[in-house]
Amino acid sequence: MPAELAITKASTGTVFELRFTTRLHGPCFRCLEDAVLDLPIDAREYQATSPGEAEELKTPYVVDDKLDLAAWSRDAVALALPDKILCGPDCAGLCSACGKNLNAEPHTHEDEPADSRWAALEQLREQL
């Protein structure tokens, strides 16, 4: 996968910048159809020249002066993922009554089935 890596030497350390675009395929959160997501990744890390004990001045991706690009890019993709991956922003999802895809077959159900857990209360209401 093509990527751009920029390493900049600063007066107190090194700045690493990583840019790439990735395409992910998977099921839509609402309708379970195939969803394709293009994610632009723009990640930045800083490694101080002499960080001492300060963890915030160290990057976990530099170990023994070697940059672990695989771990860094994997974590950058994970952080860029949205909460829900959808096939489209207007996805209608699945019908809660019959399970059909509402994008392909929009419909409504006239008689919603009653929940059997409320049957006893329904009988009391009919007696009143």
Q: Residue 13's pLDDT is what?
A: 92
44 lies in the same domain as 103: no
Instruction: For residues 113 and 121, give the distance between their C-alpha atoms in angstroms, rounded to a whole number.
Output: 15
Domain check: are 13 and 41 in the same one? yes
User: In which domain, by residue range, is 32 found?
Assistant: 4-91
**Predicted model pTM:** 0.71
Looking at residue 110, its pLDDT comes to 77
For residue 80, give both structure tokens: 């860029």
Q: What is the mean pLDDT of the chain?
A: 90
Do 116 and 54 lie in a common domain? no
- 55 and 18 share a domain? yes
Whether residues 61 and 116 fall in one domain:
no
Do 54 and 28 sit in the same domain of this protein?
A: yes
* Cα(92)–Cα(88) distance, integer angstroms: 9
Query: Amino acid letter at 65?
Result: D
Closest CA to 37 of 82, 72, 4: 82
Q: Are residues 29 and 78 in the same domain?
A: yes
Quick: pLDDT tens for 16-36. Answer: 999 999 999 999 999 999 999
Judgement on whether residues 16 and 71 belong to the same structural domain of the protein: yes
Summarised one tens digit per residue, pLDDT across range 77-113 is 999 999 999 999 999 999 988 889 999 999 888 776 6
Count structural domains, the chain.
2
- 65 and 100 in a single domain? The answer is no
